[in-house]
């Protein structure tokens, strides 16, 4: 048998063998592919976290070069960013808000973030560097990242169809204080004005907890001559109306109460962060 004949038989044998074992081979390949995908799934979150950290580092390097303080990682902002990035990847064209989705302040607050100012950058890109450079070349995104007022950041990168859906939420954080700590802080300011603080805060707390449109008073007992409640992210400064009342010299005693935030459009303060306080003057 010639070499050509032998070679021809070899090719034929290989073709026959391939047809007979095709199903087995495909099953084996599927098993290998499945194992590979499972390995990717295990490694995926770590790689994704590394990319997110890279985006944070790029942001802080940019801020350092601009003479600004670095941004601290905020888990609440990151959770809000991730939820929105997942939605961007699922719904297609990127947007800051989709149908039925709360706006940025509400969804960030629901995720556990506490802030007095919040901003957001979104993008689609191939890498953290490309995304960062895109933001720096866009005036609005550039200004968000280099805002001197913000001090916290949460980032999410969701890989889908070969690209990264990116969300970065920036905020000016608000330290969380207990109601008793809030009351003590405001009471200290009032005492410095020369007023005596009443030991019983029940009436002020009751008034604080009433709805913003309610002026039902404080129940039985000594009646205040001036009452006011407000919401603010900064409890170190009293509202002008309260400051004027204290400066008038008409009042000698005060009661301070704190309570959970409410929807209070009259206060002019954001309802998604900060503190709610009531002060009664006698």
pTM exceeds cut of 0.85: no
Order of all β-strands in the sheet with 72-73: 72-73, 152-160, 163-173, 115-125
Q: For the ranges 34-43, 55-64, 272-281, which has the lowest average pLDDT?
A: 34-43
Determine the average pLDDT of the residues in 107-121.
Answer: 91
Per the prediction, the chain carries an average pLDDT of 81
Q: What is the pLDDT of residues 42-90, one digit of tens each?
A: 336 788 889 999 999 999 999 999 999 999 999 999 999 999 999 999 9
Identify the pLDDT of residue 44: 66
Q: Read off the pLDDT of residues 179-217 as tens digits, 9 standing for 90 and up.
A: 999 999 999 999 999 999 999 999 999 999 987 655 555
pLDDT tier, 8 (very low <50, low <70, confident <90, very high otherwise): very low
Which letter, b or e, does each residue of 76-100 get, where b requires 16 or more Cβ atoms within 10 Å of its Cβ? bbbbbbbbbbebbbeeeebeeeeee
Segment 138-158 shows an average pLDDT of 97
- Rounded to whole angstroms, the Cα distance separating 48 from 229 reads 45
């Amino acid at each position: 048998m010639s070499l050509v004949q032998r070679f021809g038989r070899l090719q034929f044998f290989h073709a026959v063998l391939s047809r007979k074992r095709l199903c087995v081979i495909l099953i084996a390949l599927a098993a290998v592919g499945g194992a590979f995908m499972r390995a990717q799934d295990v490694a995926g979150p770590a790689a994704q976290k590394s990319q997110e950290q890279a985006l944070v580092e790029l942001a802080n390097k940019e801020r350092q070069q601009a003479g600004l303080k670095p941004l601290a990682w905020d888990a609440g902002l990151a959770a809000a960013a991730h939820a929105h990035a997942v939605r961007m990847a699922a719904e297609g064209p990127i947007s800051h808000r989709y149908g039925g989705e709360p706006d940025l302040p509400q969804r960030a607050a629901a995720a556990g973030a506490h802030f007095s100012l919040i901003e957001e950058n979104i993008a689609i890109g191939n890498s953290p560097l490309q995304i960062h450079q895109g933001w720096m070349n866009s005036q609005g995104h550039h200004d968000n990242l280099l805002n001197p007022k913000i001090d916290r950041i949460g980032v999410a990168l969701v890989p889908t169809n070969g690209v990264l859906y990116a969300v970065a939420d920036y905020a000016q954080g608000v330290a969380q204080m207990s109601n008793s700590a809030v009351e003590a802080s405001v009471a200290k300011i009032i005492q410095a004005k020369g007023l005596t603080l009443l030991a019983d805060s029940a009436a002020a707390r009751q008034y604080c907890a009433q709805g913003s449109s309610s002026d039902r008073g404080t129940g039985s007992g000594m009646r205040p001559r001036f009452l006011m409640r407000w919401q603010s992210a900064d409890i170190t400064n009293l509202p002008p109306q309260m400051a004027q009342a204290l400066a008038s010299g008409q009042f000698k005693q005060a009661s301070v109460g704190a309570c959970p935030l409410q929807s209070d459009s009259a206060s002019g303060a954001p309802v998604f962060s900060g503190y709610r306080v009531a002060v009664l003057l006698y």
